[in-house]
Amino acid sequence: MMRFERILQTEPKPLTSDEREKVDHLLEDLDDFLEEHPNLAEEAARKANGEELEYDHPGEAEQYLRGVEQDIAHLKSVRRSRNTEAQAAINQSVKNDQSWLLSGEK
């Protein structure tokens, strides 16, 4: 078999353990994050007014969001080479957090 034909023969794979964790992160941790930061909007307003906060939860939220976006980008990039079950898990996790990223609502 020629080298490039072998690419076509590659079997779709299940999620790796790192990908599984990213999927679970997107599905499970967002509620925990919001629960742990019940006053996020108020704290962000205080920060916007120049107040020094004891803990920078708005900054923490900003980097958390970037981490989520990075994980979504990674999962989307591997989706095509994953099997049906893995693709369904990726779709569900991405949908879960993407709607929150776009609208602030799940």
Partner 1 sequence: MNTAEDSKSIFEKVRALSSQEEARVYGTGLWKLCHRLANVGYPPAKEFFIKGLEDPRWDWRRVSVELLGSHYKLEHQVIDKICHLLLNDPDSGVRIASAYTIGKQTPFPEKNIIHALVIDSSELVREAAFSALLEQAGVAYKTKLRELDRVRAKEITPNLDQVKRILIDENLSTSSALLEEK
Which residues here bind partner 1, judged by CB under 8 A?
Answer: 17-18, 21-25, 27-29, 32-33, 35-36, 44, 47-48, 50, 55-60, 62-64, 66-67, 69-71, 73
**Residue number, 2 or 51, with CB nearest to partner 1:** 51
Residue pair 26/97 in contact by the 8 Å Cβ criterion = yes
**Residue number, 10 or 17, with CB nearest to partner 1:** 17
**Shortest distance in whole angstroms from residue 44 CB to partner 1:** 8
Whole-number Å distance between alpha carbons of 97 and 95? 6
**Residue number, 11 or 50, with CB nearest to partner 1:** 50
| Cβ burial, residue 46 (10 Å; 0-12/13-18/19+) | middle
Residue pair 53/71 in contact by the 8 Å Cβ criterion = no
**Shortest distance in whole angstroms from residue 3 CB to partner 1:** 27
